[in-house]
């Protein structure tokens, strides 16, 4: 037997011995298994059969596929954040490398809105959007999870209530005052819209568990847990700023622009009935993941000048 193969067989035996498995059985299984193919590995057939239109309008397919792609990218982002959050010995090099991956995903999302923004006829959208009610992009659970994993909860609280909430506040109370609740709740009466009730019915318990889990291992907390010298690392600080600005200004404004084009800038509601302008635009809620990394001037002008506010630190 070739020495290399002999060595590999020995390593396999050690691997399966360590978990109480018989190498010979696994080798027999290998003999019986079929070769891998691209379509089986990627599950192409299943993936391409996940698009179900509610109308016969061709551009509805663009709308469906674009949002499915978004959800896949969100899953990739969560996958990378999870590696940072659970890294036992977190180095600045690892942090920067993973942040670069995450930012590339959001850069792509920010630049991709023209696919939907310029890729659908307004007349078709107006017709098929009514069949989507009460569904709404507001109900993307993965996007909310990305927020929970990125920063401390205080930075996701509705701006009107931040002074009344701190780390001692019960998680469920904080949940009731998250910024996006403004899109589905009348704070004077406490009444929630059907959109919000359905969303919470599906995901609230999962959200509460995630808020608790990432309370101290979100990206902002992980950054602040680094040694002071590492926190001063210019590459790391710039990647944190880039991610923050891309998610909370560029991507949001790209989404906002597309919504304005198709819904209009007047009083038309989104499909779920949400007052989308009030929770989407950065100037309303000032969503900032890493506030200490921005100057006072940048904070005051957050979202006002989205072309220059992400300048390179020197």
- DSSP-assigned states of every residue in 177-241: TBGGGGGTB-TTT-PBPHHHHHHHHHHHHHHHHHHHHTTTTSHHHHHHHS-HHHHT-HHHHHHHH
- Structure confidence at residue 313 (pLDDT): 56
- Structure confidence at residue 175 (pLDDT): 95
What's the rounded Cα separation, in Å, for the pair 137 and 64?
A: 11
Tell me the DSSP string of 127-174. HHHTTTTT--GGG-HHHHHHHHHHS-GGGGB-GGGGGG--TTS-HHHH
Residues 85 and 218: beta-carbon distance below 8 Å: yes
What's the rounded Cα separation, in Å, for the pair 58 and 35?
A: 38
- Structure confidence at residue 1 (pLDDT): 72
- Structure confidence at residue 272 (pLDDT): 44
- Structure confidence at residue 294 (pLDDT): 95
- Structure confidence at residue 311 (pLDDT): 55
Task: Give the number of C-alpha atoms closer than 13 A to the C-alpha of residue 70, restricted to the C-beta side.
Answer: 23
> What one-character DSSP code corresponds to residue 132?
T
> Which residue's structure tokens are 């600045």?
92
Residues 6+ apart with CB under 8 A from 138: 180, 183, 184, 195, 199, 270, 272, 274, 276
The two three-digit tokens of residue 313, written as one number: 């630190």
- Structure confidence at residue 275 (pLDDT): 57
What's the rounded Cα separation, in Å, for the pair 143 and 147?
A: 7
Mean pLDDT per block of 10 residues along the chain (314 residues) reads 90 95 94 93 97 96 95 98 96 97 94 85 90 85 97 93 88 93 80 91 97 97 97 96 94 81 57 55 83 94 65 57
């Amino acid at each position: 037997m070739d020495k290399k193969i002999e060595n590999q067989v020995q390593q396999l035996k050690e691997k399966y011995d360590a978990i109480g498995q018989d190498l010979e059985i696994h080798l027999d299984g290998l003999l019986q298994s079929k070769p891998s193919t691209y379509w089986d590995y990627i599950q192409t057939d299943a993936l391409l059969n996940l698009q179900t239109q509610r109308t016969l309008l061709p551009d509805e397919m663009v709308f469906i596929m674009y949002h499915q792609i978004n959800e896949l990218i969100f899953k990739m982002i969560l996958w990378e954040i999870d590696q940072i959050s659970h890294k036992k010995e977190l180095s600045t090099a690892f942090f920067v490398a993973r942040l670069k991956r995450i930012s590339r995903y959001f850069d792509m999302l920010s630049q991709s809105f023209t696919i939907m923004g310029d890729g659908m006829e307004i007349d078709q959208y107006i017709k098929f959007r009514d069949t989507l009610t009460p569904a709404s992009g507001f109900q993307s659970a993965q996007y909310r999870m990305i927020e929970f994993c990125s920063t401390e909860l205080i930075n996701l609280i509705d701006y009107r209530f931040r002074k009344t909430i701190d780390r001692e506040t019960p998680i469920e109370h904080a949940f009731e005052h998250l910024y996006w609740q403004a899109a589905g709740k009348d704070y004077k009466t406490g009444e929630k819209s059907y959109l919000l009730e359905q969303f919470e019915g599906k995901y609230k318990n999962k959200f509460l568990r995630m808020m608790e889990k990432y309370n101290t291992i979100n990206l902002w907390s992980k950054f602040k847990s680094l040694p002071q010298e590492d926190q001063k690392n210019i590459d790391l600080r710039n990647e944190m700023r880039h991610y923050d600005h891309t998610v909370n200004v560029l991507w949001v404004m790209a989404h906002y622009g597309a919504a304005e084009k198709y819904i209009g800038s007047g009083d038309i509601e989104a499909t779920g009935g949400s007052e989308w302008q009030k929770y989407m635009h950065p100037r309303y809620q000032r969503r900032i993941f890493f506030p200490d990394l921005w100057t006072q001037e940048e904070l005051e002008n957050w979202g006002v000048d989205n072309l220059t506010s992400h300048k390179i630190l020197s």
